[in-house]
Amino acid sequence: MRILGGDNLGAYAKRKPRKREYLLAFRALVDTASWTLPKDVEAQFVQVASLTPPDRIAFDFPEEDLRIEMRVNCALGLARIFNVGPSINRKERQR
């Protein structure tokens, strides 16, 4: 997939250096993925991805306190990362 808005990952890694390796790994997995349908994303990230049709996917990693939100256009092979921040599920767990 062609990543767009990848600078969001870099900016967050600068603010949270301990998450840098994880973010790099995430980027690498998306970069090498070849999803044909948004559901393919859910299948590859079955434990952490949730799809909001038609094209929004949120990846939530409670243990890493990390959430990455993106849109995918599988026909053109695009992954647009538009938000990186703390996990929502972690906050809910803590409540």
**Strand duo 66-73 + 49-52: pairing:** unpaired
Token digits of residue 77: 């092979």
Q: How near is the Cβ of 23 to other proteins at its closest, in Å?
A: 9
- Output the six-digit token pair for 19: 């998450």
User: Is residue 87 classed as helix, strand or coil in its secondary structure?
Assistant: coil
Q: Least separation, in Å, of the C-beta of 91 and other proteins?
A: 18
- Reading the block at residue 3, the tokens are 């990543």
Q: How far is the CB of 85 from other proteins (least distance, A)?
A: 17
2 neighbors 77 (Cβ within 8 angstroms): yes
**Of 54 and 94, which has the nearer Cβ to other proteins?**
54
State the residues that interact with other proteins by CB under 8 A: 2-7, 10, 21-22, 24-29, 32, 44-49, 54-55, 59, 61, 63, 71, 73, 75-76, 78, 80, 82
CA 59: distance to chain centroid?
Answer: 5
Nearer to other proteins, 2 or 91 (CB): 2
